[in-house]
């Protein structure tokens, strides 16, 4: 979309799997929660924006007095010093929205949305009567209180009153200032977009995840009264967004929220096992695959995979894009058991996808690279199970890769049930929470990820944990959960690759 000039709207590997705008720093209330296992995530209200021009920057000698204490705490928490203060501009709501840049979609935006509708129908994410552009506009309902303009090097604030929500949001934006001053966000983003193997959406998850981490640490140091006020406002805003986006397809909500829900958890695992230096290395290192969303803290680059070619007569639409573990997980979870889908996602090292038009129909071809022959067999069976009974879908696993092609079934496609996607996100939240708990217990990242992986593969453990949810487990349930966790730890002490194909 040509709307807000937020980092979300920079071109991301074709854009199919990266969505959202500056309003989405919270998700619908009640999405994920497993007591003692899943860490609650407070979603930021801010954004990182790129201005349309190349305005000259002017840096003040000192911080705005109201911002200075926030900046000092953010610098302490992040372990980086500001090279210089940046200007803070306070705008009335109308002027703020104008600066935010909420333009109306043009003809190109509508054509792109129609292409994406065809792909999402082909993958089974939406039905035939979904208006994706309208859904995206609803999902981007703004609650933005401040943003950092990475080109002009300024922070813009809605209004002039710095209540607790504003202060927490500004802590988030000041983290982006530090990232930019020390690592050059524009340069890193361009590198991520240009990568043929990495996933630019995963880089975005690291950038936003780092800012949410510092925002939450700043919040934790506020008074009990301030924290209670923030929680009330945050809950009310999440419920508002939930009501306003009730008709938004589940896939749009998941993709919009992922960098701000899963990204912070991944960054926390990195921090808990290596400190701020490890976070810096993750931001500036090789562009990671989308494993960062499904295997918390995993910033391993993807194995390069050639772009799938359209069949004879097919016309490529847009740029090929990354199709890695997260994309495979979401795709498979739409039709098969999410636990099986997650195991398949763990079995791939990289992938690419191409959108094309064939005989007037939009189609999508994806290829993934399994990590071993046993992994290939498992992925092959999972993909074939997903494709079974689906019209206009074929699977090719004759070579080293596992590939599938899915074509738009048209406007008659029924709306999918949201249960599979909801279960998939709950399962991912559960595994990520277990991984984070292990990392916070002083374990290294590989061991922590192994514990989360093996726990979910323990018969009945995931079902029990999700059934308990946020409730207090009974003595018997707690014994079962502790036993499953202990067995997972034992298996991973022997082999940190336990649970992998």
What is the helix (H) or strand (E) element at residue 422, kind and residue range?
A: helix 419-440
Can you give the pLDDT at residue 43? 24
Count of CB atoms situated within 10 Å of the CB of 397: 17
Can you give the pLDDT at residue 51? 41
438: alpha, beta or left? (left if phi > 0; alpha if psi -120 to 50): alpha
Span 440-490, pLDDT tens digits: 988 899 999 999 999 999 999 999 998 888 788 899 999 999 999 999 999
Can you give the pLDDT at residue 328? 97
Span 296-335, pLDDT tens digits: 999 999 899 999 999 999 999 988 999 999 999 999 999 9
481: alpha, beta or left? (left if phi > 0; alpha if psi -120 to 50): alpha
- Tell me which residue of 143, 206, 211, 201 sits closest to 177, measured CA to CA: 211
Please determine, for residue 136, whether its predicted confidence score (pLDDT) is greater than 60.
yes
Span 13-44, pLDDT tens digits: 445 666 544 433 444 433 433 332 322 222 22
Q: Which residues lie closer than 8 Å to 275 by C-beta, 6 or more apart?
A: 79
Contact 348, 371 (CB under 8 A): yes
Which pLDDT band holds residue 140 (cuts at 50, 70, 90)? low
- What is the gyration radius of the CA atoms in the chain, in angstroms? 22
Please determine, for residue 247, whether its predicted confidence score (pLDDT) is greater than 60.
yes
Please determine, for residue 221, whether its predicted confidence score (pLDDT) is greater than 50.
yes
Tokens coding 412 = 């008659």
In our burial notation (b when 16+ CB lie closer than 10 A, e otherwise), range 330-362 reads bbbbbbbbbbbbbbbbbbbbbbbbbbbbbeeeb
Span 84-102, pLDDT tens digits: 999 999 999 889 888 876 5
Span 181-198, pLDDT tens digits: 999 999 999 999 888 878
Tokens coding 101 = 């840049």
Can you give the pLDDT at residue 56? 44
Convert 338-365 into a string of H (helix), E (strand) and C (coil): HHHHHHHHHCEEEEEEEEEEECCEEEEE
Can you give the pLDDT at residue 337? 93
Can you give the pLDDT at residue 26? 46
Burial class (CB in 10 A: 0-12, 13-18, 19+), 229: middle
Mean pLDDT of the chain: 86
- Measured distance CA(151)–CA(190) in Å, rounded: 13
Helices (H) and strands (E) in the chain, counts: 17, 10
Report domain extents, the chain. Answer: 7-102+142-294, 315-407, 419-494
Count of CB atoms situated within 10 Å of the CB of 246: 10
Span 346-396, pLDDT tens digits: 999 999 999 999 999 999 999 999 999 999 999 999 999 999 999 899 999
pTM of the predicted protein model:
0.88
Which pLDDT band holds residue 236 (cuts at 50, 70, 90)? confident
Span 382-418, pLDDT tens digits: 999 999 999 899 999 999 999 999 999 998 888 888 8
- Tell me which residue of 216, 96, 102, 75 sits closest to 145, measured CA to CA: 96
- Measured distance CA(78)–CA(379) in Å, rounded: 40
Span 255-305, pLDDT tens digits: 888 999 999 999 999 999 999 999 999 999 999 999 999 999 999 998 999
Residues paired with residue 403 on neighbouring β-strands, in sequence order:
367, 396
Contact 424, 341 (CB under 8 A): yes
Ranges 155-159, 230-234, 354-358, 469-473: which has the least confidence: 469-473
């Amino acid at each position: 979309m040509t709307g807000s000039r937020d980092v979300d709207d920079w071109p991301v590997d074709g854009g199919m799997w990266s969505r959202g705008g500056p309003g989405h720093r919270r998700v619908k209330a009640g999405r994920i929660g497993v007591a003692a296992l899943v860490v609650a995530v407070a979603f930021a209200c801010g954004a990182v924006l790129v201005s349309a021009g190349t305005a000259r920057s002017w840096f003040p000698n000192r911080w705005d007095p109201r911002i200075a204490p926030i900046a000092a705490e953010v610098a302490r928490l992040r372990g980086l010093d500001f090279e210089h203060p940046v200007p803070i501009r306070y705008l009335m709501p109308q002027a703020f929205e104008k600066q935010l840049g909420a333009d109306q979609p043009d003809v190109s935006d509508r054509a792109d949305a129609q292409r994406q509708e065809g792909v999402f129908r082909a993958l089974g994410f939406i039905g035939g009567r979904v208006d994706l552009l309208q859904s995206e506009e609803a999902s981007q309902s703004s609650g933005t209180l401040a943003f950092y303009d990475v080109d002009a090097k300024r922070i813009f604030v809605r209004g002039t009153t710095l209540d607790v929500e504003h202060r927490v949001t500004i802590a988030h934006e000041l983290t982006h200032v530090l990232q930019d001053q020390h690592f050059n966000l524009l340069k890193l983003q361009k590198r991520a977009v240009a990568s043929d193997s990495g996933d630019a959406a995963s880089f975005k998850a690291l950038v936003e995840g780092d800012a949410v981490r510092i925002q939450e640490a700043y919040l934790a140091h506020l008074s009990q009264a301030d924290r209670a006020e923030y929680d009330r406002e945050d809950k009310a805003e999440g419920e508002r967004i939930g009501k306003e986006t009730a008709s938004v397809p589940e896939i749009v909500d998941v993709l919009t929220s992922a960098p701000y829900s899963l990204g912070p958890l991944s960054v926390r695992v990195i921090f808990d096992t290596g400190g701020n230096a490890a976070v810096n290395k993750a931001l500036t290192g090789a562009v990671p695959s989308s494993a960062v969303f499904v295997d918390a803290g995993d910033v391993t680059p993807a194995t390069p995979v050639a772009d799938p070619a359209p069949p004879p007569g097919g016309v490529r639409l847009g740029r090929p894009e990354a199709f890695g573990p997260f994309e495979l997980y979401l795709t498979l979870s739409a039709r098969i058991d999410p636990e099986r889908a997650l195991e398949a996602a763990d079995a791939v090292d990289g992938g690419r996808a191409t959108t094309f038009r064939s005989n007037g129909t939009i189609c999508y071809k994806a290829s993934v690279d399994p990590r071993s022959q046993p992994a290939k067999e498992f992925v092959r069976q999972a993909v074939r199970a997903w494709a079974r009974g689906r019209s206009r879908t074929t699977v090719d696993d004759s070579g080293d890769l596992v590939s599938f092609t899915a074509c738009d079934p048209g406007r008659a496609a029924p709306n999918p049930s949201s249960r599979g996607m909801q279960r998939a996100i709950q399962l991912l939240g559960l595994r990520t929470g277990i991984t984070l708990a292990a990392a916070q217990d002083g374990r290294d990242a590989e061991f922590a990820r192994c514990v989360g992986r093996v726990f979910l593969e323990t018969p009945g453990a995931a079902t029990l944990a999700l059934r308990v949810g946020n409730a207090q487990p009974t003595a018997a349930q707690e014994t079962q959960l502790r036993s499953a966790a202990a067995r997972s730890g034992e298996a991973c002490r022997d082999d940190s690759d336990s649970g992998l194909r």
